[in-house]
Amino acid sequence: MPQLTLASTSRYRRELLERLRLPFAVARPEVEETALPGETPLALATRLAKAKAQAVARTLAGDGWALGSDQVADLDGRPLGKPGGRDGAIAQLRAMSGGVVRFHTALCLAHPDGRALAAIDLTGVRFRALADAEIERYVDAEQPFDCAGSFKSEGLGICLFESIDNRDPTALIGLPLIATCTLLRQAGFTLP
């Protein structure tokens, strides 16, 4: 079976990939993550997933594959990144309150010989109308500073939503496992 390397140091992605019970290594992709002028959230997620996978794939030997993923929150066509701190998280949640945010989660599985397989998952999240006190309580309790959109759907963040529309519940956490399994099978990995 080919060797797999997760092109990410995200603990969320690592924990999700562990569910598949495949051995894998972890490598930090050296990729600049700034959006290009006029780049859409979908284009940004797709470009970054590919860049991460290819950056790590170039360091692999033999029959190794690198799995890159990137998620971009899309609020009315504008990308929302990780908030970085309390004030940023509060501002993001205020902006999303009562609205729908789309999360583009892109995957790329890259081989050192240049082959690449890709997929994209779209998740729509409808937020409740949130009072400032609710937002501050949530941010202080969960401190979602390293999460696109300033929430953790696998934790207390679920309390902020009216609904989630998606094909894969793991996508919102950062690695859509249904699409990941499809790509891995295409690359020759054996899964149940």
Q: Say yes or no to pLDDT of 1 above 80.
A: no
pLDDT band at 125 (very low <50, low <70, confident <90, very high): very high
Dihedral of the alpha carbons of 35, 37, 43, 45, in degrees to the nearest 10 = 10
pTM above 0.85, yes or no: yes
Assign a CATH topology to domain 3-186: Maf protein (3.90.950)
Q: Where are the domains of the chain?
A: 3-186
Dihedral of the alpha carbons of 107, 122, 80, 184, in degrees to the nearest 10 = -10
Structure confidence by residue, pLDDT tens digits, 71-109: 998 998 888 878 889 999 999 999 999 999 999 999 999
Catalytic site positions: 70
SS3 187: coil
- Token code pair at residue 160: 């902020």
Average pLDDT on 155-159 reads 87
